[in-house]
Amino acid sequence: MNKVNKPATIKEIAKKLKISPSTVSRALNDHPSIGLVTTMRVKKMAEELNYEPNQTAIFFKQRKTFTIAVILPSLSEPFFSFAISEIENVASAQRYTVLMGQSLDDPDREEQILKTFKNHRVDGILMSIGKKTTNLEFIEKLESSGIPVVFFDCVPSLPNINKVQSDLSTGMNEAVDAFVARGHKVIALVNGPKTLPASEDRKVAYLSAMKRNGMDILEKNIIETDLSTEGNEKAMDSIFAMSERPSAIISFNDFVTLDLMKAARNKGLVLNQDIFFISYANYPLWQYMENPPMGRIEQFPGMQARKAAEILFERIENSDVADQQIVFKSRLVM
């Protein structure tokens, strides 16, 4: 099993056939100027010798790697899994391969990965930035060295970049509307840490949706969690302790909701009777649950990723297309 056969090269085919390497190269690439007979002979010999093009040589020579890179905070989160799968589909349809890295929300690691991808001379990068990423110089660096970057989901709030994101407010509006329509008087938001832009977006959307529905806005109805299970349980504790306890809760994401629901059950509350939930979806399991949350706000990770990939390939093909900022509406699904 350890006998390594060095694969045949164009040169060897040429020698066997007593023709020049360039002819062989052209024949293999179906260059129109090469005679049919020659082309056939070359291909036959290539077959016989088990010729396989050395892509590393081609990449080097062509200054093109037919590879895109994807860098995400995590490769194991369902939200990103859907994204990854779609990206692979788009890329493989374009005959590109996909390099992957996860930053784990560590800016240093993120930077390191980007550097590696850059040195690999990938043809483009798809990215969702980490929660703690603040230094955005890398974008200009990559773009100016000819590597297009398209962001999705977690995108920098810069103009003149290419990005695909979700408008959190539409789903929030629908969620608040739905709660109000069902007669809920106290609607709470269990939000993530203030440091996250994603939290700020949710808060703004919540305030506007509440106002739009003519609801009273009370600061105490905006509860913050650090997104850990303990944090979520504490959030439920504080909700439970409130005098005018909310009957409807919109939460940061599914993980939070699942913890809140569990905590609520433990306190003797009956789901979808004493208390109702809607969350920003990131963990698809509602269809299987006996007593699922009332609804979820979908952000369509697969669709976002697909669109981002399509934009990336547009930019790879044609380097001077205009910047694109796409916003998909989030939607309440019940």
What does the binding site for its own copies look like in residue numbers (CB under 8 A)? 1-5, 7, 52-57, 59-60, 63, 65, 67, 74-78, 81-82, 84-85, 88-89, 92, 95, 97-102, 109, 113, 116-121, 143-146, 160, 258-259, 261-262, 265, 271, 283, 285, 288-291, 319-320, 323
CA distances from 206 to 194, 210, 228 (A): 14, 6, 22
Q: How far apart are CA 86 and CA 306, in angstroms?
A: 6
Rounded least distance, CB 88 to its own copies, Å = 5
| Per-residue b or e along 232-241, where b marks 16 or more CB atoms closer than 10 Å to that residue's CB | bbbbbeebee
Does 10 sit near DNA (CB under 7 A)?
Answer: yes
Nearer to its own copies, 138 or 206 (CB): 138
Rounded least distance, CB 161 to its own copies, Å = 9
Strand 276-280 relative to strand 295-298, pairing: parallel
Among 54, 85, 272, 291, interactor with DNA by CB under 7 A: 54
Q: Half-sphere exposure of residue 15, counting CA atoms within 13 Å on the CB side?
A: 6
Does 270 sit near DNA (CB under 7 A)?
Answer: no
73 binds, among its own copies, DNA, none (CB under 5 to 8 A by kind): none
Among 44, 48, 62, 98, interactor with DNA by CB under 7 A: 62
The sign of the dihedral angle between the CA atoms of 257, 259, 262, 264 is negative
11 binds, among its own copies, DNA, none (CB under 5 to 8 A by kind): DNA
Q: How many residues bind DNA (CB under 7 A)?
A: 27
Rounded least distance, CB 19 to DNA, Å = 4
Q: Name the segment binding DNA (CB under 7 A); options: 54-62, 138-146, 189-197, 296-304.
A: 54-62
| Per-residue b or e along 205-224, where b marks 16 or more CB atoms closer than 10 Å to that residue's CB | bbeebbeeeebeeeeebbbb
- Give the type of residue at 218: L
Does 321 sit near DNA (CB under 7 A)?
Answer: no
Q: How far apart are CA 196 and CA 119, in angstroms?
A: 31
Among 20, 92, 266, 272, interactor with DNA by CB under 7 A: 20
324 binds, among its own copies, DNA, none (CB under 5 to 8 A by kind): none
Does 38 sit near DNA (CB under 7 A)?
Answer: yes
Q: What is the CA radius of gyration of the chain?
A: 27
Does 57 sit near DNA (CB under 7 A)?
Answer: yes
Rounded least distance, CB 35 to DNA, Å = 3
67 binds, among its own copies, DNA, none (CB under 5 to 8 A by kind): its own copies
Token pair 């302790």: residue: 241
- DSSP secondary structure string, 265-321? HHTTPPBTTTBEEEEE--S--GGG-SS--SEEEE--HHHHHHHHHHHHHHHHHSTTP
Among 11, 120, 185, 267, interactor with DNA by CB under 7 A: 11
Nearer to its own copies, 143 or 167 (CB): 143
SS3 130: coil
- Give the type of residue at 121: R
65 binds, among DNA, its own copies, none (CB under 5 to 8 A by kind): its own copies
Rounded least distance, CB 312 to its own copies, Å = 15
Q: Strand runs (DSSP E) across the chain, as ranges?
A: 67-72, 97-102, 124-127, 149-152, 162-167, 187-191, 222-224, 248-251, 276-280, 295-298, 325-329, 331-333
Q: How far apart are CA 121 and CA 4, in angstroms?
A: 28
Of 274, 269, 233, nearest to 251 (Cα)?
233
* Binding stretches for DNA (CB under 7 A): 6, 9-11, 18-23, 25-26, 28-29, 33-35, 37-38, 51, 53-54, 57-58, 60-62
